[in-house]
A and B are shown apart, each in its own frame.
Chain A
Amino acid sequence: MTIFEFFLWSLLKVAVVTVVLLLGVAYTVLLERKLVGHIQNRWGPSRVGPFGLLQPLVDGAKSFLKEDLIPTSVYKPLYLLAPLISLGCALISIAVVPFGAPNIGPKGMDLFQISDVNIGLLVLLGVTSIGVYGIALAGWSSNNKYSLLGALRSSAQMISYELALGLSLVGVVLRAGSFNLRTIVEQQATKGIVTWNIFGGFQFLAFFIYLMAAYAETNRSPFDLPEAESELTGGYHTEYSSMKFAMFFMAEYANMITVGCVATLLFLGGWTSPFGDLIPQPQNILVHALVPVFWFVAKVFCFLFLYVWVRGTLPRFRYDQLMNFGWRILMPLAILNIVGTSLWLAYR
């Protein structure tokens, strides 16, 4: 394969994955509105298209056509840069996520992953940690006390919970002996659901920590303090309108999807089926390629469902409770999990 073929192929994959991800983001918003609606005994959006299925398109058109206000006292370069950083980092991190079984494209190329990196997990963590700047700069450059408070809260929250998040993944990495996401999935997928890391690998504690830290990292309820509307109006995006606001919004949901993908890959067996070898492998090549993708999407969907369910159920934490929970409960638990896992691996 020449280098130009490689470039062309990669560009094609990037384009397709980005479009699918953005569609996913749009429909996650709809899913959230519908589900929260039903939890609160309402219908949710139901007017545009059958069951409100065309609502995301209309929302998109609305945010495009709204007037784009830039307040006079903002620090313009950073004000314009911040949403780009946010959305960019949210979209980049999907590049190392494998959605399906390896090596089934033409010429043995990976059809269901943009790039297979040795240090895939670290790349994911790194890109997420850069994403903090989007929020911090948005709050600071807006020159508004609510924005600044929201940004300070969110940077403190994200730094604190990043530790717990990273430490909760160490157990899984220890078991797989690799940072490569494909290796991690293949290591846990030998016999279906019983060998998934969350059950067979005894990583349920790690999964719990990851779940909590992921809610905090994506600034979602019950840890959505950076945008707590009752105290901070809109948090860091108070001064943003139109498409710039929509970019923050899209970044939040794209981050949710990425976090769901990571949970699926690390704890829930990735693209493999929960039944292991009980179901015979399909013979048709197309079905053979698409069944893993189906399982992957189904698992991510369950994770997103859980996200929305929690949002519809739990009230918001107070700021000191949030910090206490992160540092005094999650961190020690994560360290305990690492010690336990390594002892178990050593004396097995």
Chain B
Amino acid sequence: MHLILFFLFAGFCLAGAINLLLQSHPINSALSLIVVMTSLAVLYLLLGAEFLAAAQIIVYAGAIMVLFTFVVMLLNAGREERTLGSRAARIVGFPAVVAILGVVATIILHAQGLGTAALSQGITSTEDLSRVLFHDLLLPFEVTSVLILIAILGAVALARRGDGEGTAQK
């Protein structure tokens, strides 16, 4: 069962990622990325990380990618154009990527002592997760909240066109 589910959703992941590369319209790329993210959530469930699976759906697929599609719709971004830069990137990029994949894959396949994952084995409950998060790692948690606050302020400052520089340009 685990095997079937793994192959199914790993297949979805890879298909979505490849489609992200092949599509020339940003909205299609965004949708394939959503497919990747939701399939990853299922893989997290298979690995027993149930809270992370839900967070993956809610945060990544439900919030971040909505923001992406929102921006694509707002800017009405059309098909991308092939330029000289893309040809150069292709010539250098593909061999480099294949090399990276080859190196990493050999390391993983030669690694000793990696176990197996089966269904309903080692499920991390939300309680365990929150105990570690709010006891051992409280300071990093609070620091991330400051980070989020700074990000909000930065986004507001960047996107604002009111009495600041925006009017000066007009």
Contacts and interface: CB of A to CB of B under 8 A. Distances in A.
Note whether A and B contact each other (Cβ less than 8 A).
yes
Interface of A: 3, 78, 118-119, 122-123, 125-127, 129-130, 132-133, 136-137, 139-140, 148, 151-152, 155-156, 159, 162, 179
9 contacts: A119-B126, A123-B54, A126-B61, A129-B61, A132-B66, A133-B34, A152-B73, A155-B66, A155-B69
Nearest to B50: A119
Interface in B75-133: 125-126
A119 B51 contact: yes
Contact of A119 (B1, B54, B61): B54
B70 A156 contact: yes
A136 B58 contact: no
Contact of B66 (A3, A127, A159): A159
B62 A140 contact: no
Interface residues of B, number: 23
A313 B53 CA distance: 41
Interface string B50-73: 110111011001110011011001
Contact of A152 (B31, B63, B74): B74
B27 A78 contact: yes
B57 A126 contact: yes
A249 B113 CA distance: 55
Given A140-B69, A151-B73, 19 more contacts: A78-B27, A78-B31, A119-B53, A122-B51, A122-B54, A125-B58, A126-B61, A126-B62, A127-B57, A129-B58, A133-B66, A133-B69, A136-B69, A136-B70, A136-B73, A140-B27, A152-B73, A159-B67, A159-B70
A156 B34 CA distance: 19
A137 B63 CA distance: 15
B160 to A, nearest CB: 15
A137 B66 CA distance: 10
B54 A129 contact: no
8 shortest interchain CB distances as A-B pairs: A129-B62, A122-B54, A126-B57, A126-B58, A140-B73, A119-B54, A119-B50, A132-B66
B-side interface mostly: helix
B63 A159 contact: yes
A118 B128 CA distance: 13
Nearest to A159: B66
Interface of B: 1, 27, 31, 34, 38, 50-51, 53-55, 57-58, 61-63, 66-67, 69-70, 73-74, 125-126
A3 B1 contact: yes
Q: Which among B34, B38, B66 has the greatest number of chain A C-beta atoms within 10 A?
A: B66
B116 to A, nearest CB: 20
B63 A129 contact: yes
Nearest to B74: A152
A40 to B, nearest CB: 37
A156 B69 CA distance: 11
B134 to A, nearest CB: 12
Nearest to B123: A118
A177 to B, nearest CB: 8
A160 to B, nearest CB: 11
Nearest to A129: B62
A133 B38 CA distance: 13
A130 B125 contact: no
Given A129-B58, A130-B61, A136 B66 contact: yes
A315 B117 CA distance: 56
B18 to A, nearest CB: 17
A148 B70 CA distance: 11
B62 A132 contact: yes
B30 to A, nearest CB: 10
A240 to B, nearest CB: 18
Contacts of A151: 73
Contacts of A126: 54, 57-58, 61-62
Nearest to A81: B31
A127 B61 CA distance: 10
A118 B58 contact: no
B68 to A, nearest CB: 11
Contacts of B125: 118
Contacts of B55: 122
Nearest to A166: B58
Contacts of B70: 136, 152, 155-156, 159
A79 to B, nearest CB: 12
A3 B126 CA distance: 27
Q: Which among B34, B55, B58 has the greatest number of chain A C-beta atoms within 10 A?
A: B58
